[in-house]
Homo-oligomer: A and B are copies of this chain.
Amino acid sequence: MEKLKPRTLSGFMELLPAPQQQMERMMDILRRTYALYGFTPLDTPLIEASEVLLAKGGGDTEKQIYRFTKGDADLSLRFDLTVPLAKYVALHYNDLAFPFRRYQIGKVYRGERAQRGRFREFYQADIDVIGDGKLDIVNEAEIPAIIYRTFTALGLRRFQIRVNNRKILNGFYAMMGLTEKSGDIMRTVDKLDKIGPEKVAACLRDDCGLTDDQAAEILRFIAITGDNAAVLAALRSYAGRNDTFDQGLAELETVVRHLGAFGVPEANFAVDLTIARGLDYYTGTVYETTLLDHPEIGSVCSGGRYDNLAEYYTDKQLPGVGISIGLTRLFYVLGEQNMLNDQLPTAPADVLVLPMTDDLSAAVALATALRDAGIRTQLYTEAKKFKAKMSYADKLAIPYVVFLGEDEIAAGTVTCKDMTSGEQTTLPFADTLSRIREGLRQREMGTVIREN
């Protein structure tokens, strides 16, 4: 029979078992951390009716989308988790209690041009809090705490949560009489990190049509830096001239005021007036998170406050705040940077049981007892040479190999080899189990990400 070359589509991440275990560990940490803040897990279909998914329409989204027909149905794969959330909340409005807090970790699809580190199928890990009509500012103040706990649990220390408020920017541009140009200005200012202040000033003049004075004023404004107290003090000097600005400043002060009680160290947080987030629908606090030693990665966790989640589906006013982690890309970048901790176990089993007798009953019973005790156990019964069996354990990095021969069965003992230290013990089952448990506990110490 002629064989077909097996292949995985380009732009689709497919991991080998060991890195997959690292990915699972990261997902598990995200699930547990999100749950600590009262978010409930959701799982929505990957396929939606195209008219539902594309209600907003337009833009790059529509070009990148995987859209197709099945029978007479016009279908699309979801390209983010926000539109399905909007549909979900509008559809199930009467069954939900608000504020509605949900997390979702799921795959989304974008047919981008294939290039290294870009994925067409990728996980997003989102949380959102949705209010009914109103949503208190404390929900926005809590987001940095969630980001901080998440990245700390993953093992990162050197990261910074950068926060701004769109009302401050909108108010500031309104003071300057530049409201209609504020969108263009924010998109230009967003490039500051990449192109520097001089080119930003040039773009503000040439592309946005600002005067030299206006461009200089904007650059002075976004150049306000320092610790949180200093930035807030500088912002207060603009207060009293525009209601939106004043409201944004009050919100930002609330966010900063609660940081300590929320457990976020000042070192991991910065008010950053250059952050705007491109998306038009953010209306209040906006967030970006950068790794201090890897600014080239860009933001690894972003989001913000919006006023109207589901406006395409319902008249209900549903304000919310949310953040998203691009998990597949983050995992890829961490791997490239050698930041995934390969000291943590990635083996499919904790123990490999090698029967040394023809009658397998004792070995089977031993494997069952280990599983009853919660130890991940593989029973190896293939007809191979002893050396091949040991190299199987080695290749999979299984930490313990347990042998059961006539002597052990007669004596009621188990021989156990620690594959890391090479140490071999022959002890009763209970003692062997204790040693294995203690060894596993030590191997589990450490975090999934390590900073170099």
> B-contacting residues of A (Cβ < 8 Å)?
1, 3-9, 12-17, 20-21, 23-24, 35-49, 51-52, 55, 66-71, 73, 75, 86-88, 90-92, 95-97, 99, 101-102, 107, 109, 111, 121, 131, 134-136, 138-139, 142, 145, 149, 258, 261-263, 310-315, 348-349, 352, 360-362, 364-365, 368, 371-372, 374-383, 392, 395-396
Can you identify 6 A-B contacts, CB atoms within 8 angstroms? A4-B52, A14-B45, A17-B42, A38-B379, A46-B107, A142-B379
Q: How far is the CA of A96 from the CA of B73 in the complex (A)?
A: 41
Q: How far is the CA of A1 from the CA of B55 in the complex (A)?
A: 12
**Residue in B9, B51, B311 whose beta carbon sits within 8 Å of that of A48 in the complex:** B9
Q: How far is the CA of A395 from the CA of B365 in the complex (A)?
A: 47
Does the CB pair A47–B9 fall under 8 Å? yes
Stoichiometry, as copies per complex, reads 2
**Residue in B4, B86, B121 whose beta carbon sits within 8 Å of that of A45 in the complex:** B121
Does the CB pair A261–B38 fall under 8 Å? no
**Residue in B4, B44, B315, B368 whose beta carbon sits within 8 Å of that of A263 in the complex:** B368
Does the CB pair A14–B55 fall under 8 Å? no
Does the CB pair B258–A312 fall under 8 Å? no
**Residue in B68, B134, B139, B258 whose beta carbon sits within 8 Å of that of A66 in the complex:** B68
Does the CB pair B383–A3 fall under 8 Å? no
Provide the residues of chain B in CB contact with A36, threshold 8 Å.
Answer: 371, 374-377
Does the CB pair A42–B20 fall under 8 Å? yes
In the assembled complex, the CB of A202 is this many whole angstroms from the nearest CB of chain B, namely 37
